[in-house]
Amino acid sequence: MRFTAGKLAAATLAIVGLAEGTGYLHRRYANHVPLSPLSFLARAADVHPERLAVRYGTRSYDFAAVHQRSRSLAGALRRLGVGRGDVVAMLAANTPEIFEAHFGVPLAGGILNTINTRLDADTIAYILDHGRARVFLTDTHLAREVRPALRRAGRSDVVVVDITDDQATGDEERLGDRTYDELLTEAPPAEWRLPEDEWDALSLNYTSGTSGRPKGVLYHHRGCYLMALGTVAGWGLPHGARYLYTVPLFHCNGWTHAWALAIVGGSATLIRQVTAPAMFEAIARDGITHMGGAPVVLAMLADAPEEERRPLPGPVHFLTAGAPPPAAVLERVERLGIEVLQVYGLTETTGHVVHCAWEEAWDALPDAERAALKARQGVRMPITEEVAVLDLETGEPVPADGATPGEVVIRGNTVMQGYLHDPDATEAAFAGGVFHSGDVAVLHPDGRIELRDRLKDVIISGGENVSSVEVENVLYRHPAVAVAAVVARPDERWGEVPCAFVELRPGARADEAELIAFCRERLAGFKTPKAIVFGEVPRTSTGKIPKYELRRRLETRAAG
């Protein structure tokens, strides 16, 4: 955006609220601009309008086009009454619409609420109600859960807009009275405008709900700006990076990579279905240099059969989060030419705030030591102010001994505003002045953290803390175990004891006594499961195991 004289007068008036500081040395329109990732697109469209911004199959847009379409979206949303603080919900696959909504919705002043496409109708209805969405952009190929969700939400006032995708296959159904493409033509493109305050909410991301109803996490413009810029610095994202999106854009705003790419004039390649052939083809076709995704995506690349593979055009840098990738997977993908950086973060921290930064000196270490270092989540990223591990009982920092478990607490400018319409949960999350992650970790002597468990999944047996993850890791080493999940079972004598839910591999056999004995050989007595429950282990829409559900089953059994 270039300066135009007409804008100046209005803008100068708008800064009255900023006039702080010592006398004439106050914040001004010239030297204090609200931090917003919108600025990155404005600059990209100004500086290199013709660089490719996003590609999806046969569709592609340069930065000028994304800028223009975002302005059209914002103009239409404003015409529909969306203003500062209004929620625009979106349930969409990774198509250009969700990419440009990351700019167009905040440009309208609205809050972008992207919804997990794997959710059931009940939860979608809950989110539409709870977020009080005014407009709902929804993919016609995802109508099966959306139609009943809309009915249950009882929100006849919400404006439903259909995103059509002629590159998608399968059933589709229109639920609104206009398409997204029609929407873009409904009003003149909006004037480019930054938020009034960098603290304004930009997006609303519901947690996946392993512990009950999802909570609505509010991101602010300042945090998203700094996360995007910090990602460029921390990951070393270069000018002209070519990025393949396998992370859904509904997940923590696609890890803020859409905004980060605008900074470096990089392009995003989108694919609707994350499969090995689709990824290998996109990597080869677009010369992909960077990716991000869950460890399962790495495993898909590592395990793809020969006929699905294509040679990589060059090294691919891969950001992964959610869990440390298994050493065997790491080794195989590294052989393919993929360099993995593990990161850790939460929805509440606008994504990754800790990364497993590699030190050159470690290259010379033996394999086992290197694998142990790679399993650590690591150190804080450049824009993360503090990461500490606090003793679960005393609240004091744990010693850096790699053994004492504590809760990870985080402080920084990317931490959320709070939970929408939930002051109690917000105050609880910020108790004592820092953000409580609910994750349990140890602190190593080198200052790196390593996650052990979710706080609520720690089992306290006879006064001793048992990490459910540690027990699960032992169970996974048994050849018959496909999935293992360990939770606390109330116990009259010990308070709690570990109880394991196990899904066996197809055709494999093992009984309770065998698995308990297997664990006892490798674990202290108080850590060994006292019972094994066999059967299918449930998963949430993001592939996590909902341990509250397992605990509920144990309660039902006990009551029954």
Interacting residue with its own copies among 87, 434, 440, 458 (CB under 8 A): 434
CA distance 259 to 264: 9
Nearest-approach distance from CB 418 to its own copies, in angstroms: 5
Residue with smaller CB distance to its own copies, 72 or 384: 384
- Under rule CB under 8 A, which residues in 22-61 are in contact with its own copies? 22-33, 35, 39-40, 43, 46-49
Q: Is residue 237 classed exposed, middle or buried when 0-12, 13-18 and 19+ CB atoms within 10 A define those classes? A: buried
The total of other beta-carbon atoms located within 10 Å of residue 162's CB is 23
Nearest-approach distance from CB 435 to its own copies, in angstroms: 5
CA distance 261 to 44: 9
Interacting residue with its own copies among 19, 21, 285, 552 (CB under 8 A): 21
Interacting residue with its own copies among 243, 435, 494, 518 (CB under 8 A): 435
- Under rule CB under 8 A, which residues in 239-258 are in contact with its own copies? 239-240
445 lines the binding site for its own copies (CB under 8 A): no
- Under rule CB under 8 A, which residues in 258-277 are in contact with its own copies? 263-264
Residue with smaller CB distance to its own copies, 212 or 445: 445
In SS3 terms, 6-69 reads as HHHHHHHHHHHHHCCCCCCCCCCCCCCCCCCCHHHHHHHHHHCCCCEEEEECCEEEEHHHHHHH
- Under rule CB under 8 A, which residues in 312-351 are in contact with its own copies? none
Q: How many residues bind its own copies (CB under 8 A)?
A: 83
Site string for its own copies, 401-430 (x = CB under 8 A): --------xxxxxxxxxx----x--xx--x
Residues 6+ apart with CB under 8 A from 99: 54, 66, 249, 258, 268, 270
Task: Using the rule CB under 8 A, give the single segment among 74-82, 286-294, 352-360, 538-546 that binds its own copies.
Answer: 352-360
Residue with smaller CB distance to its own copies, 142 or 232: 232
CA distance 264 to 53: 10
Residue with smaller CB distance to its own copies, 11 or 175: 11
* DSSP for 311-378, written as a single string: --SS-EEEEEESSPPPHHHHHHHHHHTEEEEEEEEEGGGTEEEEE-PPPGGGGGS-HHHHHHHHTS-B
Nearest-approach distance from CB 423 to its own copies, in angstroms: 4
- Under rule CB under 8 A, which residues in 175-234 are in contact with its own copies? 199, 201, 218, 222-223, 229-230, 232-233
Residue with smaller CB distance to its own copies, 3 or 536: 3
- Sheet (strand 449-454) strand order: 384-391, 406-412, 435-443, 449-454
Q: Does residue 26 contact residue 18 with C-beta atoms inside 8 Å?
A: yes
* DSSP for 439-476, written as a single string: EEEEE-TTS-EEEEEEGGG-EEETTEEE-HHHHHHHHH
- Under rule CB under 8 A, which residues in 353-392 are in contact with its own copies? 357, 359-360, 379-380, 382-388, 390
- Under rule CB under 8 A, which residues in 72-91 are in contact with its own copies? 85
Interacting residue with its own copies among 120, 177, 303, 396 (CB under 8 A): 396
Q: Supply φ then ψ for residue 212, to 5 degrees.
A: 125, -150
Nearest-approach distance from CB 194 to its own copies, in angstroms: 9
